[in-house]
Structure formats: C-alpha cells, structure tokens
Amino acid sequence: MSVSILQTLSAHLGAAFAAIGLPADYGRVTPSDKTAPFQCNGALAAAKLAKQAPRDIAAQVIAHLKDNTDIAAADIAGPGFINLEPSADLLAKRVRALAGDERVGARVSEVLEKIVIDFGGPNVAKPMHVGHLRSSVIGDSLQRLLRFRGHDVVSDIHLGDWGLQMGHLITELAEEQPDLPYFDAGFADGYPAHSPVTIDDLARLYPVASAKAKDDPARMARSREATSELQAGRAGYRALLDHFIQVSIAALKKDFSALGVHFDLWKGEAAVDPLIPDMIEQFKKDGHTEESDGALIIRVAEDSDKKDLPPLILISRAGAALYATTDLATIKDRRDSLHPDTILYVVDFGQSSHFEQVYRAAGKTGLFPRDKLEHIKFGTVNGKDGKRFRTRAGGVMRLSDLLAQAREAATKRLDEAGLAQDMDAEERAEIARKIGLAAIKFADLQNVRTTNYIFDLERFTAFEGKTGPYLLYAAVRIKSLLRKAEAAGVEPGTIIPAHKSEQRLVLALDSFNRALAASEDKRMPHILCEHVYTLAQAFSKFYADCPVLAAGVPDNVKSSRLALAALTLKQLEIGLDLLGIETPERM
C-alpha cells in the first residue's frame, strides 16, 4: 500500500530541509484550505535555529524541489509559508493505489489494544428514552471505528439492575400478587421458569411504586428492606430479579436493534455483586480504606486538585454497597475475565465527578491503571428552548417514539422531493427508516461530543446541507450512475484525474485514514463525519463538472470517471457504516 500524498510531500520537504543542514522534522506538511491544498510552515519554525529569515529558508528549500516529479508547484506565501501543489502523476499514482485497496486507504492502528467500551446503560424495567440516545450512538460508532482500526473490542451495555428500583418492583408486585411463591420466605427452590411479569407490567409497576414511596415513608421503608434482602441473597427475590432482567433485556434488544446498535455483553450491576465482599476485604487489608461517620470510604483527593473531590463511599452507614462500589467490582470483573488494556465509559458530563472518584480509587488500590480508564463525556440533547429535549407534554420522550417521528418526517421528505414514488409500500417504508436513522445519528455524531446540541427533526431530515439524508442521497446517486453505466456497457477503468474537480475528489479520498486516526485518537466521531461530508461535497462538484456517461465523452474518460465514482461510493459507504448508518440501494 502506497503512502498518502501528505506523507509523500512531507518526505520530500524533510529531505529538502536536511539538504540545507536543518532537521528533517521541519518538513512536516499539513493540509491547507488556502490557495494550495498543502502547506509547510517549517521555515518559520527553523528561523531561530538557522539564524536566517523564514523566506530565505523557504527559498532554499524550494530550490531543492524544482526537479521533483511529485510536486507541480511550490511557492512562498506570507512570512515564509511554503504552499504545495501535488503533481497530476502523484495524484494518479495514489488514487490507483486506493482503488486497488479493499480498505480504500484505511490502515490499522500502529499499537493494537484490547478495549472494553461501556455504553448504553439503560435500567431494568424502564423503557429507553431520548436520554439514552447519545451514549448509544456515540458508543456504537466508537466500537465500529476501533474494530475497523484493528483493535480487539468488547462492548458491554452495563444494565442498571441493582438498587432501590428493584425493591420498588418487588414490593409493588407483592401488593398486587401476594400469593406468588417468590414472597414465601419458606420457599427456597423450584420457582416458576416463566416470568410472572411482562415488560409492560414492569413499566407500570415502577412509577406506581416510586410515587407511593415518595409520599409514604413506611412504603419507602418496605422498598428499602426488600432491596436489602435482595442484596443479602433472599432466594425468592433473586429469582424475581432474574425474571426482571430477562424480560427487560428482551425488550431492550428490540429497542437497540431498531437503533442499529448491538452489544457483546449484557451484564449489569447484579452480575458483580458476589465480587464485592472479597474486593472490599482486600482494600482493607492493603490499607486503602477508613471509617468515616459510620461509612467505609477511600480518600481520592489529590494535592493538585483545584476543587475538593469527596472520598469514594464503598459502604454506606446503612451497610449498603453503592454505585461506586459496583463500578469498582465491574472493573475487577473486566480485568480478570477480559484482560483489557483500556476501558472506555461513554457517559454524559453529569457523571464526571463520580467517574473521577472511581478511576482514582481503581488506580490507588491497584485494581486498574488510572490512565487506562477513560470517561468519554458528552453533552445533552436539547429542545429549541435550550433545555433538555422533552415531549410537548413535558415528559421524557421514549426512544421508540423518537424513531417513529423520524420515520414519519423522512416519509414526508421523500414525498416533497418526489423520491421513491415508483416503489411498493414495503420498500418505501424501509428507505424512510434508513433516512430517519441517518438523520438522527448524523445529527448527533457531527457535533463535537462534549457540546450540547438542539434537536430539530425538520432540519435533520433535509436532503440539503450537512445532514444524514444528504449523504445517503449522494451514495444513492452514485449507485444509480453505476447501474446506468452497466446497462450502457461502460466499465470502470484506469483512473486519470485530469480535471481540477477530479483532483480535489482524489485529495478528499486520500484524507480518509487521517480522519480515522484522528477520530480514534481523540475519541471524536465528528471528525469522521466531517470527512464523509467533505467527500460527498467533493463528489457533487466532480459530478457537476465532469460528465461521466454523456455523449461525446471519450471512452477512456468515461471509464476513468466511472472508476473514480465507484471508489468514492466504496469509501463513503465504509465511512457511513462506521457511523452506524445504512445506505439504501435507491430512492
């Protein structure tokens, strides 16, 4: 596989700097959006060392490039910038290498790791809502990207299946169906294999119990007692928990499948509860814990902290393990069973302090290296009023309702654009589903993940602008072109990028690996989003300026342009797939 145009130019500039007695590192070339596609700023950086004016250094460097067949032009700009234009021969050589590469220029990472990604995080008995969208979409794009880059990735949903909510469910079910064997303290084995509740029952029971407990201290006490008995191992309650989890997972798999998101593991907090006693004993033995006001804590504050970070509470005054405790036990479980190098947690900004406590405690106790635990923070999805996105009635919107709205909006857009009119209802509905998902996912992922964004379905589903539907339309247009070419007997041939728009498209294609590497390094999917959008725009310009199948176009040019279009489609579809976006065959 040949190296990128950027790498080729950097090698030439490095050799030129070395030829005039300066370190080759000054020859680093970067993309430019100014008068030339590439630029080298090394002459400015070298001025102090060389004790020469930057423009004089630049002139000497350019003198060593005058016979270089990979460089069409090298000019000095401003105080000493070197603007670079690659030659047509270099562009042709590179694009032909891309066309012959199954990964169209994408390389694997130089250092490969075993990586666990913790994302999703829905709770048992609660339907998925818009608050789960960002973790799911960002986490899924990262697992796709990291696998494509060659890493061994394991994704875990980390279910919320432990704590007071389980006590609420148990006690409310006991009020409704007190004769179930799970509530008979003398009954310890042979519980029914079939769940006594459905997901709809759980979705109804929890809010009823929570509301009762909020207004009735005695009712809250019963839920807390049931939670304690569950965590202490009461057989009937553990059997119920198993039912709750299995029923919830079945429903969650449907929601995540509709979103196009999949997990390798479906573990929750309950799965690591047996590990907690021994883990805490080891922490005590190693001198990492102390008693404080009746609770068992680990102090995690550091002298360099700009604001106080409270100690991590392992065991509360009431004797209960807390979220931080199960998070540490989960790290232990992953360390011992999966042996990861790095663990990523795709969780919103609101949990920053919590994870900082957990990560520091994990490092301090020797459980896992602190610098290998990463909090992939993200902002909120807001309504047009700037507040967290909600339904018109003020409630939290269910994810299934959001996806249904996206499909409806996509169907409306298809009607307005006069697209998919000749298709049957089933195919048209499938295309609307893909457009709706592309609209939601791309709208989320194109933002720097650490920022908030405004949810605007009308804008997201447009076929113009920086949207998911625009990208799908670009892919579908290329597919249509390839079908027409096949019908006309035109086959892809050797790519000869002669026109400026063809050359700009080649440069866009050549930047794929840089975008992938930067997205991985920064854990920022928006960088890949920017690449696929830029690629689609470059193709649109090429398509407008360079007729492919028009009468009068020479056969070798038709074949060249057709091959360039096919290459663009391949890279575009790979990029979209890494974002979790499916492309239809036609519209």
pLDDT tens, residue by residue, 489-508: 999 999 999 999 999 999 99
- Residue-wise pLDDT for 119-129, tens only, equals 998 988 888 88
1 pLDDT exceeds 60?
no
More confident residue, 355 or 232: 355
Q: Mention every residue, 6+ apart, whose C-beta is less than 8 A from residue 14.
A: 24, 25, 26, 27, 28
393 pLDDT exceeds 70?
no
The CATH number for 80's domain is 3.30.1360.70
Domain that holds residue 362: 114-159+263-376
End residue of a domain, out of 259, 290, 324: 259
389 pLDDT exceeds 70?
yes
Using pLDDT thresholds of 50, 70 and 90, give the confidence band for residue 343.
Answer: very high
398 falls within a domain: no
499 falls within a domain: no
- Give the chain's domain count: 3
The CA distance from 362 to 332, in Å, is 9
160 pLDDT exceeds 80?
yes
Using pLDDT thresholds of 50, 70 and 90, give the confidence band for residue 29.
Answer: very high
395 pLDDT exceeds 80?
no
End residue of a domain, out of 214, 239, 259: 259
Residue 274 and residue 341 in one domain? yes
576 falls within a domain: no
pLDDT on residue 155? 98
Residue 38 and residue 183 in one domain? no
Residue 272 and residue 371 in one domain? yes
Q: What is the mean pLDDT of the chain?
A: 95
For the segment 369-381, the average pLDDT, to the nearest whole number, is: 97
For the segment 442-463, the average pLDDT, to the nearest whole number, is: 96
Q: 219: which 2 tokens?
A: 């009712």
Q: 228: which 2 tokens?
A: 């304690």
Residue 279 and residue 227 in one domain? no
End residue of a domain, out of 350, 376, 402: 376
CA angle 271, 273, 274 (to 5 degrees): 100
pLDDT on residue 534? 98
Residue 290 and residue 366 in one domain? yes
Q: Which helix (H) or strand (E) holds 84?
A: strand 81-86
pLDDT on residue 92? 98
542 falls within a domain: no
pLDDT on residue 126? 82
pLDDT on residue 391? 72
More confident residue, 151 or 395: 151
The CA distance from 39 to 41, in Å, is 7
The CA distance from 532 to 575, in Å, is 6
Residue 236 and residue 370 in one domain? no
Residue 234 and residue 296 in one domain? no
- Residue-wise pLDDT for 279-320, tens only, equals 999 999 999 999 999 999 999 999 899 888 999 999 998 888
For the segment 311-331, the average pLDDT, to the nearest whole number, is: 93
436 falls within a domain: no
The CATH number for 129's domain is 3.40.50.620
Residue 283 and residue 336 in one domain? yes
Using pLDDT thresholds of 50, 70 and 90, give the confidence band for residue 394.
Answer: low
